Amino acid sequence: MQTLDRLNRTFAIDGHAVFEEREPGMLRLQLSSPESTATVYLQGAHVTQWTPRGADPVLYLSPAAVFAPGKAIRGGVPVLFPWFGPRWNGAAFDAAHGTRSPAHGFARTSVWTVDSVRCEADGDVVACLSLAPDEVSRGLGFDDFALVLECRVGHELQVALHVTNRGAAPLEYEEGLHAYFAVADVHPARLDGLGGSTYLDKRDGSTRKVLHDGPFAFTRDVDHTHLHTDAALKLHDPSGHRVVDIVKTGSLSTVIWNPWTVLTPGFADLPADGWQHFVCIETVNADENRLRLEPGATHTLAMTVRVKTVRVKTA
Ligand SMILES: O=P(O)(O)OC[C@H]1O[C@H](O)[C@H](O)[C@@H](O)[C@@H]1O
């Protein structure tokens, strides 16, 4: 059993890693490197904060987020496994098993185990958490996987999800690092890297479309699953005077999401103006990019984030 005391006795590193319980039943790990700080909740192995020294937080965390056992946290980097959005065979599975498959899978609401916390020679702090099958996953038909989430905090944030198939049959799954990036104002924000890519427009019945060339502007609610793309992305946030670089590995889908004014009222854990202050840019394998992992094989999905401040020219 991972109690606060035991976690601190086993893994705390003076000045670099400490466990806390700010909300009842919600243990979290505070990481601190010379270059940045981060917070990781054990529920979901969920990074809720990453802040380079002297900068504003790079990840958006909803001021109305709910921190309670079993509830998904709105913001940061939710880890999605073994399906993205609604389960692809959800209706059939649920009917056959008399159960209900939660949106985005069970990983984000499961409590992960802390395996290690370490400081590297270059000052980076690295935490590894794991998730093994339990009653919940077995009830949903997933009995033979091993997940490891590795979070590296330094001048970059690196989040890697390693999935291993421990079973005798192929493991089919979807996965995602559903990152919420903070922007000072979404209106002038632009996203580079998806021009010309094919996507499913979920706001239009998942119609298949091709994105125009050049930067993408956020002008309304958006929910795109871009397919067959491993392109690096650049989020320009002129009001925040910064550019965020997002590099993906082991990912062929990129999801972009913003609920705008239209959908925000449907989210009790988002404030009315929340949509103006984030865009989700998600490192994913979903839909046509769903994975099939052979017995014994491991796949790694990873996202690396870097921030550059853009100087404001003064006359
Ligand atoms: O409310 P959640 O279950 O966290 O999902 C929030 C959003 O996640 C992704 O971006 C999906 O593409 C959206 O369709 C979904 O609305």
Task: Give the residue, out of 180, 224, 257, 275, with the most ligand 1 atoms within 8 A of its beta carbon, to mutate for a pocket test.
Answer: 257
Q: Is the CB of 202 under 6 A from ligand 1?
A: yes
Instruction: Kindly report the protein residue whose alpha carbon is nearest to atom 4 of ligand 1.
Output: 74
DSSP 250: S
| C-alpha 243 to ligand 1 mean position (Å) | 24
Determine the Cα angle at 184 with ends 301 and 267, to 5°.
70
For the ranges 36-50, 63-77, 269-283, 298-312, the lowest mean pLDDT is seen at 298-312
Residue 66 beta carbon below 6 angstroms from any ligand 1 atom: no
Report pLDDT digits (tens) over 81-112: 999 999 999 999 999 999 999 999 999 999 99
Cα dihedral 206, 86, 257, 71 in deg (nearest 10): 170
What pLDDT shows up at residue 151?
98
Statement: residue 167 has pLDDT above 80: yes
> Is the distance from CB of 282 to CB of 254 less than 8 angstroms?
yes
- Could you read off the pLDDT of 41-78 as tens digits, one per residue? 999 999 999 999 999 999 999 999 999 999 999 999 99
Provide ipTM, 2 decimals: 0.98
Query: Is residue 35 over pLDDT 70?
Result: yes
Spell out the domain ranges in the chain: 4-307
Mean pLDDT, range 151-164, rounded to an integer? 98
Q: Into which CATH architecture does domain 4-307 fall?
A: Distorted Sandwich (2.70)
Q: Which residue owns the Cα nearest ligand 1 atom 12?
A: 223
Give the pLDDT confidence score for residue 313 in this predicted structure: 64
Q: Does pLDDT of 314 surpass 70? A: no
**Does 277 have pLDDT greater than 80?**
yes
Find residue 233's DSSP bridge partners. 246
Q: If we measure between CA atoms, which residue out of 160, 183, 286, 200 comes closest to residue 234?
A: 183
Q: How is 201-244 classified by DSSP, letter by letter?
A: EGGGTTEEEEPPSS-EE--S-EEEEE-S----EEEEEGGGTEEE
Mutation choice for ligand 1 from 62, 71, 108, 223, CB with most ligand atoms inside 8 A:
223
Which member of 46, 178, 236, 277 is catalytic? 178
pLDDT band, very low/low/confident/very high, at 311 (cuts 50, 70, 90): confident
- For residue 315, pLDDT beyond 80: no
**Residue with CA at minimum distance from ligand 1 atom 1:** 267
Q: Is position 178 annotated as part of the catalytic site?
A: yes
Q: What is the mean pLDDT of residues 24-35?
A: 98
Q: Is the beta carbon of 104 within 6 A of some atom in ligand 1?
A: yes
